[in-house]
A and B are shown apart, each in its own frame.
Chain A
Amino acid sequence: MEISPDKASFTQPCTNQPDGPGKRIGKRGEIHVIGNVLQGGAEIFRGRIERFQAEAGYWETRVGTVHDFRVLLFDNDTRLLVSAVYDGDFIPYLEDVLEQAGPWFDFLMPGVWEGYTKATDLATRELIARQAYTAEAFYAANPDLSIKDIAKMRRITNAVNEILDAAN
């Protein structure tokens, strides 16, 4: 099907991650991990999710490269989806992310996600890599701005506004 030239001019160069699953536009990457939920896992999940949500800001700030993140159960609570949009590569940083945010996942996932034992276990790392999926289509606004870049721009904008306010 033909794409009209005025729409094609907005096209973003979207590639696969250079080493592992996930799409990539500029600095921005995406990943979806789909796992199976253990028998009775949904109840355990719902019992823990409030605290997991409350701690999201703390753990994701520690990681520092995730733009947004979600986890959900689907297919009548038989499967779970974890997805994120983040800066940079996925597989090369998997060990680092699990070292930083492992305790957060270890609070939620054991007994819920089939095969998940502990973030630091090799088997868990392999499970995540094995159950990771790549999006078929992806869009990212400002794909060259990382979390750090955005934070820096906010600081600069605030500083410039202060100067402008002072000048008035």
Chain B
Amino acid sequence: MPDNYTKAVELNLEDIQGTVLRARPIPYFGSYYVFTVDDAHSAIALLKRILPYLTSAANWDAPAENAWINLTLSFEGMRKLGMPEEILQGFPREFSQGMAARHVYLGDVGPNDPSLWDMPHGGNGFDIGLLIMAGSPELRDAKAAIGHEAISGLGGLRMVYRLDVGLPPTLREHFGFVDGISRPFIEGQGGTPLPGQPIAKAGEFLLGYENELGAIASGPGPKELWQNGTYISLRKIRQDVAAFRRFLRDNADTPEGQELLAAQMMGRWRSGCPLALSPDRDDPALAKDRLRNNDFLYLKEDPDGHRTPTGSHIRRVNPRDALEETVVEMRLHRILRRGATYGSLLPEGVLEDDGVDRGIIFAAINANPGRQFEFVQSQWINDGDFISQGERSDPIAGRRDRSDEFAVMRPRRRYRGLGAFSLTRGGEHLFLPGLGGIRWIVANLGKV
């Protein structure tokens, strides 16, 4: 039988940076390094030294080494490297303006304001980013050594930020949920989609391929620069676990009631078991079954949110078929999530914040940050109009300055007093070139 999923599109895996296609190992050990460029020559020297060590997506489903290192550039970083103005002008405006400049549109106001961010953005130092992900601390350190080696002796290049990421011993994120269950299947990635996994055109996640509008996703300047590249919309989200736990305690009388409320806010039980398939009780076996745990729709089975509340997190960020009868074309707003957890766990049962910085690095891979990440963030996470819920926002990840309500249908109840559980502490749109794109930069820039 011909394999339609692999033959339709040939992805140039040797050129695509690994993180686009590789799912992180479990558990994982990673680091994010941020560099500021004071001198273009030094930065190009870094790129040149590190290029041979960057990991491609070749054999992504069975990599020879369970570790990878990838490189990203902010718009400001590219400008400092001497990218010609006419090429810079052609990048998407979300990327050229940067997330901090777009904070009002993105809902990063009040306690999420960029003045409170502790991770640099393109406007204050984020020029080059190195991402390391590995299956063990030793493999991570080995990759980090390559990075240190590459910058050693290079004046004019400063490491301004580092964040280590890793899955807590519970193998869950800080609010207690198993995550990373649902993701789109990219045409040409190889293998077969899992039940419930939507198939997306490669051009939604990679430049140089056909996208869902029937056009070839492209970038500015020569093809060598952008072919097989993409954008990562990176966010540092601090999680206020104590506030989340207090909200559950204050709104449910029993531990079981608290678990149900948490599940209704997420749309899945903490195990990952979807409410859509098991609305009354957790089913850990179902949660682990990859053939079942993502195999559900909303439009016919649950249009009003009696099982999965329409305002729940997973139904907002991935409405599946729920918006089919509305203006929204779901296939234009998909993102590929590559997130990671950072910080130590707040001990079980603690209801007061201990001041420790903990949360997630949210990384959305998208070829068009405007109609993908930014659309999801502004329309679905931070607003409720698309589900006739006015200004209500995502109960887990949304802004709180307009509404602090969350509604469920079974039993019908309106919760008030949602806290700012997820606080933006950094964010930037980054270019993740193909390896050929980095070669082009090394060969053509740094001469200013």
Q: Chain A residues in contact with chain B, CB under 8 A?
A: 18-19, 27, 62-65, 87-89, 92-93, 95-97, 99-100, 120, 122, 144, 146, 148-149, 152
Contacts and interface: CB of A to CB of B under 8 A. Distances in A.
A146 B214 CA distance: 31
Interface residues of B, number: 23
Given A27-B390, A122-B215, 4 more contacts: A18-B105, A92-B371, A92-B374, A92-B378
Given A96-B329, A96-B332, A89 B213 contact: no
A99 B390 contact: no
Interface of B: 102, 104-105, 213-215, 325-329, 332, 370-371, 374-375, 378-379, 383, 385-386, 388, 390
Given A64-B326, A95-B329, A100-B327, A88 B213 contact: no
B327 A64 contact: yes
A85 to B, nearest CB: 15
A120 B214 contact: yes
A19 B378 contact: yes
Contacts of B388: 146, 148-149, 152
Given A19-B378, A92-B379, A27 B213 contact: no
A65 B327 contact: yes
A99 B332 contact: yes
10 contacts: A18-B378, A19-B102, A63-B327, A64-B326, A89-B378, A97-B327, A120-B213, A122-B213, A122-B215, A146-B388
A50 to B, nearest CB: 26
Contact of B385 (A95, A97, A146): A146
A88 B375 CA distance: 12
Contact of B327 (A18, A96, A120, A144): A96
Contacts of B325: 64
Nearest to B107: A18
B33 to A, nearest CB: 31
Contact of A88 (B105, B215, B370, B385): B385
Nearest to A87: B385
A93 B374 CA distance: 12
A144 B385 CA distance: 9
Q: Which of B327, B332, B379, B386 has the most CB of A within 10 A?
A: B327
B156 to A, nearest CB: 36
Contacts of A64: 325-327
A26 to B, nearest CB: 9
A62 B388 CA distance: 16
A144 B389 CA distance: 11
Smallest CB-CB A-B distances: 9 pairs: A148-B388, A18-B105, A19-B105, A99-B329, A96-B329, A63-B327, A96-B327, A65-B327, A92-B375
